[in-house]
Amino acid sequence: MAKFSQYTKKNGSTWWSYQAYLGVNEFGKEIRTTRRGFKTKKEAQLALNQLLVDYQNGQHQQNKIMTFKELYDLWLENHRLRVKKSTVATNRRFIEQYVLKYLGDIEVNKISVVQCQKIVNKWHEKYKQYAYFRKVTAQVLQFGVQLEILADNPMRKTLLPRKKEEDTFPNFYTKEQLELFFSCLEEHVKNDGRTGLKLQAFFRILAFTGLRKSEVLSLQWEDIDFFNQQLKVGKTLAVDEHGRIIIQTPKTESSTRTIALDRITIKLLQQWRSNQMEWYLKFGYNTSSEQQYLFTNKFNELYYPQAPNDWLYNILEKYNLPKITLHGFRHTHASLLFESGATPKDVQERLGHKDIKTTMNIYTHVTPNKIKETGEQFANYVNF
């Protein structure tokens, strides 16, 4: 359906224009056009008729031109079929917040290597995740190459700037620091009984098993074998692209594992389960099922991943403890395992790494006690 209208220029002359809908392109996007500068309505009608003929004959080029945003939409549709929902959510956030503002409206065949390099440099100046922005942008453009929309991938030809030197804090605790943390947590429990006990159980699992935060938040009571003192890891908690909490399978097969628990951790979990049933029953929730999750909010709903970050921040601030992240407890567990004499293979299996290279690359740091012990071992061995 076309719309014809008359308009007046600044010099007082009158002209005709039309707006027309031509259809949809192969990507489902509506094709509309506006043309101006016709002396009469009849002239505008004739021009529109010719345009429609050209379009039907395949001479109209608009449906052959694709912007980066259009390619991204097509890529995203395919991406959802190939990766986990949490990965889709992460990649959508990165592209839609940090990539589309630079490339969204640009026709993909006009994106140059120089243009991509300038964008990468800007990301490097502002964001720590600049390498990931480049990686996921290259994935979208490579999809265009595979569909023969693009001849090559300009983002892949860019050079990744050197990582900035930054002052970073040691993201793990020594044995003494870990003891201090849990003594402060004990004090926290005294001040806030049931909530404190929940936090104590959460951080005990985190520090004494090396589980990831997402693995701990997905635990159900059926995953805890009190008799054999074991914990089964087979799922993770994540957030999908719509902001909904989901439970999904682990990242790799090696992440599915069974971990031995110590006696104190078992006792603490038994206490928390008893308290959980008693406390939630007062609010009308029956948490006695084996499918009950270990850690839920006051409405017995799963926590968003940010919640434990807030718990940790409050404890560190309240007791003026050394800075550490939640993932730092996983680093701590690995470091103290090495210090206690565990082999790299032991650590790999307990942490659920796919291969031992990951274990050694990430956890090459050792605690000060281990450094001192290594020096003594060398001196005793050389013995002069």
Q: For 41-78, what is each residue's pLDDT tens digit?
A: 888 888 888 887 777 766 444 445 689 999 999 999 99
Question: Is residue 179 located within the same domain as residue 137?
Answer: no
* Residue 351: per-residue pLDDT: 85
184 is a domain residue: yes
Which of 109, 126, 157 is a domain's end point?
A: 157
Question: Is residue 200 located within the same domain as residue 292?
Answer: yes
| Confidence label for 130 from pLDDT (cuts 50, 70 and 90) | very high
Which of 289 and 194 is assigned the larger pLDDT? 289
Mean pLDDT, rounded, for 184-211: 85
Q: Are 347 and 209 in contact (CB under 8 A)?
A: no
* Residue 346: per-residue pLDDT: 83
Domain of residue 21: give its range: 2-64
Q: What is the DSSP letter of 246?
A: E
Least confident stretch, 30-34, 103-107, 239-243, 247-251: 30-34
* Residue 321: per-residue pLDDT: 95
- In sequence order, what are the residues at sequence separation of 6 or more whose Cβ sits closer than 8 angstroms to the Cβ of residue 384? none
Q: For 222-257, what is each residue's pLDDT tens digit? A: 999 999 999 999 999 999 999 999 999 987 787 889
193 is a domain residue: yes
Which of 64, 87, 113 is a domain's end point?
A: 64
Which of 154 and 369 is assigned the larger pLDDT? 154
CATH number of the domain bearing residue 128: 1.10.150.130
Q: Are 137 and 103 in contact (CB under 8 A)?
A: yes
Which of 64, 90, 108 is a domain's end point?
A: 64
276 is a domain residue: yes
Which pair of tokens denotes residue 73?
Answer: 């939409």
pTM above 0.85? no
Which pair of tokens denotes residue 29?
Answer: 């996007």
Backbone angles phi, psi at 27, to 5 degrees: -100, 10
383 is a domain residue: no
Mean pLDDT over the full length of the chain: 86
87 is a domain residue: yes
Question: Is residue 53 located within the same domain as residue 196?
Answer: no
208 is a domain residue: yes
Angle made by CA atoms 182, 238, 283, in degrees to the nearest 5: 65
Split into its structural domains, the chain has a count of: 3
24 is a domain residue: yes
162 is a domain residue: no
Question: Is residue 112 located within the same domain as residue 214?
Answer: no
* Residue 384: per-residue pLDDT: 43
Which of the residue ranges 15-24, 270-279, 344-353 has the most confident prediction, judged by mean pLDDT? 270-279
- In sequence order, what are the residues at sequence separation of 6 or more whose Cβ sits closer than 8 angstroms to the Cβ of residue 31? 21, 22, 23, 24, 25, 62, 63
